[in-house]
Structure 1
Amino acid sequence: MESIIILIFIIGYLSITLEHPLKLDKTVPALIMAALIWAVLAVGFHAGWFDVIDTHERAFNFLSGGEAAEEGFENTLLHHLGKTAEILIFLIGAMTIVEIIDLHRGFEILKGAVRTKSKKKLLWIIGILAFILSAIIDNLTATIVLVTLLRKLITVREERLWYAAMVVIAANAGGAWSPIGDVTTTMLWIADNVTAAGLIEYVVIPSIVCFVIPFIIATYLPAFRGEIEVDTTEDVVAERLLSSKTMLFLGLGMIVSVPIFKTVTHLPPYIGMMLALGVVWLVSEYIHPEEDFSKERRHLYSAHKALSRIEISSILFFLGILMAVGGLESLVFGVAENGDPVGTLRYLAEVLQEAIPNQDVVVILLGVLSAIIDNVPLVAASMGMYDSPTDSVLWHFIAYSAGTGGSMLIIGSAAGVAAMGMERIDFIWYLKKITWLAFIGFIAGAGVFLLIERVIFQHT
């Protein structure tokens, strides 16, 4: 019966990847897949066909556990919903702040700073911005900000897709060496598997390699030759407002404050994002964007309008994907070496470890898998598998691989999914045009990491 749940996931996943040939919005199969996986899981659990495991490695069998098992199942479902909601609230907050900045034409300030018509120069400017910003405000938010900026700079969508795709590579590489740059590095940091200093010291150079090499190759591609077509009419219409600079720096400043808030309070990042959104929203209610500002024009710059511009289908897509992965993670699929029951993803990690004794190869495969399956449960599974000390080579390599490996597919990372939702990037187009660049960067960075850790410093 376990195979039914895995089959639902495979069919749902294929439907997402074939979104354009099927002429079906990817959100539809994601939501149906998540609902069906949990429905089959619930029916099978109550019928005694299979057990459910929670995040504390406790397995529940309904026939032998009764009410306690029922409560365990409900708590497992609520846990996965809670973890998914954290990401969704964070995403909604970040996207709303970006849209408020955009309504006040704050990105015109950044647009004015990017004074080049050369496609190659723009590629490097955007790439460096993505790499640095993602380490400060996380790869997801950096991607949202820069894709919004690209919309201001490049009017031709076909050209913009290339830049948006390269932003994903740079943002994921930038997020991998920062404890707040990616969800997985934050997980490892909170669990004391890595320290901020250790992560930066050993992962920053491989991350730079992972970012730079694909960009060097990209400068020789036809898509980045010549000059950008500039829409001269847009400069007249989209002039700066009195509030442009204030809202840009306030918005970005409040996003940057989220990790500081988390460090001080030890609360999850979404709480800090709620505060950030509240402050930006408050200021937007009272600021005057124009000289002769009237109440009748207030709605043009309001947070309500910003909320209406959010890509809700992307939010629902996240909901479907993360809940489906949570269902897979909760299904007891086998037993570990010590005889304890494990979930599907944990079982997969155990099989990999048994089949491939070399730990470094397993971690590289983890990076490749993170492009296909969400990297959060994969990293969570690896945290449960190993008991290496803080700042060991293993944890640093997992942070690098899980953070950058997702760039190989457009749906392999939060940054990729955000770019996909905002620009409607086709899965197959990305697979053909960008995957090979991301793979070269990932492998080159992994090689540099192993050279530094295993050969130069000879760490074990």
Structure 2
Amino acid sequence: MLAGIPIDFWLFALTLLGVAVLHHHTLAVALTGAAAIATYKLLFGDFAGVPGFAGLAALFGHEWVTLANLLGLLLGFALLADHFERSRVTELLPRVLPDDWKGGFSLLLIIAVMSSFLDNIAAAMIGGAMAHALFRGKVHIGYLAAIVAASNAGGAGSVVGDTTTTMMWIAGVRPGQVFEAYVGAAVAIVFFGVIAARQQHALQPIMRDNPVGVRVDFARLAVVALMLGAAIATNVGLNITHPQALSRWPAIGIAVWVALLATAGWRRPTWALLPGALKGSIFLLALVFCAAMMPVKALPAASWQSALGMGFVSAVFDNIPLTALALRQGGYDWGFVAYAVGFGGSMLWFGSSAGVALCNMYPQGRSVGSWLRGGWHVAVGYVLGFMALLVLLGWAPDAPAMR
């Protein structure tokens, strides 16, 4: 302990501080932090009560499915987003989107809707590809934060839209309980969406006219559809028939890569994108593993205040173990929790896998200071959405000790 706080948390805090300050060396900082925490626990601590290398091996055995799924999705969806952009369908969007700031706002709404049935990583990557085309590659960092926030908010109320809501569904939470999160998400999107769209319009207005002679590559769109269909079908199908398989094998990541490789002869992926995407992916995996090593055995007593705090914690702490702890503890209103853990990570670029994936496309987003200055409206929108849930629906918790 140091000042009443376990040394593990101090090391994790220093790692996050290093990521925030040294945003040009985030991968080295994250790997160094993970190594330091693991070394400290090997020498002086334990892993969930199991000391030494046996404890480390047990922890990795528990986390490897999550890590492998994230790696497969981040890399696969990086190539998917490139397929989507190279299909040139984004160049037809000016026909249907308004020409002023409302065009940027409409794009955020499209991303949120996509995320309700797609993985939020895919929604953010596709949204980033659309923004790159519509704004001619000049995207405001506040708008980048809004893309991430829209993708996370869109998945918060759907049991197939986010890993955390899927976990709740598997644990017995009814889809209707999770759906309530959309009340908060809608309020948040209106707030941050309008401000971000105006930021973007001031920097670079949306493309007004379609380029002449655009020919959509429908084969690439078909590849995108097949990859997304494989991910959704695997997720939903296994949740209904064999939910235990999802905890044993990275089935969703495998499904995406099977579809990608099966269609590679039809439309060749841009394999050159993988090295850059791999660096960003390893960074996120290192932070997730750091979070998994933290000695968090319980959350504060279930209340709307602790649920509100989960959102801020999830900006720096992996929301999957947070959700698992809440499910074991019980006594929460799951609509509030779904909104908090699903949306809260948007407040920092590395707070969610969608943010890390998007910053692989837009490296300028990897500055915590710039993200907070440009995307301040995301944090305010989170609080406003949570208050809307509290006022309009009220805190209606389940019984404690839910199993």
Q: Which of 353, 358, 383 is equivalent to 1:419? A: 358
What are the superposed Cα offsets for residues 313-342 of structure 1, whole Å, 9 maximum, x if unpaired? 1111012101111122xxxxxxxxxxxxxx
Shift in CA distance, 454/304, structure 1 to aligned 2, threshold 3 Å: closer
What are the superposed Cα offsets for residues 151-191 of structure 1, whole Å, 9 maximum, x if unpaired? 2222243x353432211121111111011222221222222
Maintained 8 Å contact 2:118/2:161: yes
Q: Which residue of 2 aligns with 1:111?
A: 91
Maintained 8 Å contact 1:254/1:280: no
Q: Which residue of 1 aligns with 2:165?
A: 185
Maintained 8 Å contact 1:364/1:401: yes
Q: Which of 59, 72, 76 is equivalent to 1:89? A: 72
Distance in 1 (CA, whole Å) between partners of 2:25 and 2:258 is 32
Displacement of 1:454 in angstroms is 2.4
Greater shift in the superposed pair: 364-373 or 247-256: 247-256
Maintained 8 Å contact 1:94/1:255: no
What are the superposed Cα offsets for residues 6-56 of structure 1, whole Å, 9 maximum, x if unpaired? 332222111101124xxx321110011111211221122xxxxx3431xxx
Among all aligned residue pairs of Structure 1 and Structure 2, give the percentage whose two residues are the same amino acid: 22
Q: Which residue of 2 aligns with 1:52?
A: 47
Distance in 2 (CA, whole Å) between partners of 1:174 and 1:205 is 11
Distance in 1 (CA, whole Å) between partners of 2:375 and 2:357 is 16
Maintained 8 Å contact 2:187/2:381: yes
Distance in 2 (CA, whole Å) between partners of 1:226 and 1:32 is 37
Displacement of 1:304 in angstroms is 6.4
Shift in CA distance, 377/240, structure 1 to aligned 2, threshold 3 Å: same
Number of equivalent positions:
389
Normalised to the residue count of structure 2, the TM-score between the two structures is 0.85
What are the superposed Cα offsets for residues 103-149 of structure 1, whole Å, 9 maximum, x if unpaired? xx22x123313435734122122111111111111212100111122
The 5 A counterparts of 1:312-331 are 312-328=278-294
What are the superposed Cα offsets for residues 352-396 of structure 1, whole Å, 9 maximum, x if unpaired? x3xxxx711111111111112222222222223x234xxxx5222
Maintained 8 Å contact 1:96/1:303: yes
Greater shift in the superposed pair: 422-431 or 77-86: 77-86
Q: Which of 219, 225, 229 is equivalent to 1:243? A: 219
Give the secondary-structure state (helix, strand or coil) at the position aligned to 1:137: coil
Maintained 8 Å contact 1:176/1:403: yes
Q: Which of 250, 269, 286 is equivalent to 1:303? A: 269
Maintained 8 Å contact 1:261/1:272: no
Maintained 8 Å contact 1:151/1:160: no
Q: Which residue of 2 aligns with 1:297?
A: none
Q: Which residue of 1 aligns with 2:181?
A: 203
Task: Verify: 1:11 aligned to 2:14, yes or no.
Answer: yes
Task: Verify: 1:30 aligned to 2:33, yes or no.
Answer: no
Shift in CA distance, 418/112, structure 1 to aligned 2, threshold 3 Å: same
The 5 A counterparts of 1:291-440 are 301-303=267-269, 305=271, 308=274, 311-328=277-294, 343=295, 345-346=296-297, 349-350=299-300, 353=301, 359-384=303-328, 386-388=329-331, 394-424=333-363, 425=365, 426-435=367-376, 437-440=377-380
Displacement of 1:249 in angstroms is 3.5
Letter in 2 for 1:311: A
Distance in 1 (CA, whole Å) between partners of 2:76 and 2:154 is 21
Shift in CA distance, 278/100, structure 1 to aligned 2, threshold 3 Å: farther
| Structure 1 runs not aligned, ≥5 long | 45-49, 54-58, 63-69, 288-300, 329-342
Maintained 8 Å contact 1:81/1:323: no
Shift in CA distance, 416/226, structure 1 to aligned 2, threshold 3 Å: closer
Shift in CA distance, 246/271, structure 1 to aligned 2, threshold 3 Å: same
Greater shift in the superposed pair: 115-124 or 416-425: 115-124
Give the secondary-structure state (helix, strand or coil) at the position aligned to 2:136: coil
The 5 A counterparts of 1:109-148 are 109-115=89-95, 116=97, 118-148=99-129
Letter in 2 for 1:262: L
Letter in 1 for 2:25: D
Maintained 8 Å contact 2:140/2:199: no
| Structure 2 runs not aligned, ≥5 long | none
Distance in 1 (CA, whole Å) between partners of 2:175 and 2:47 is 35
Displacement of 1:248 in angstroms is 4.1
Give the secondary-structure state (helix, strand or coil) at the position aligned to 2:393: helix
Q: Which residue of 2 aligns with 1:214?
A: 192
Q: Which residue of 2 aligns with 1:292?
A: none
Q: Which of 262, 266, 272 is equivalent to 2:252? A: 272
Maintained 8 Å contact 1:17/1:427: yes
Q: Which residue of 2 aligns with 1:451?
A: 391
Shift in CA distance, 226/409, structure 1 to aligned 2, threshold 3 Å: closer
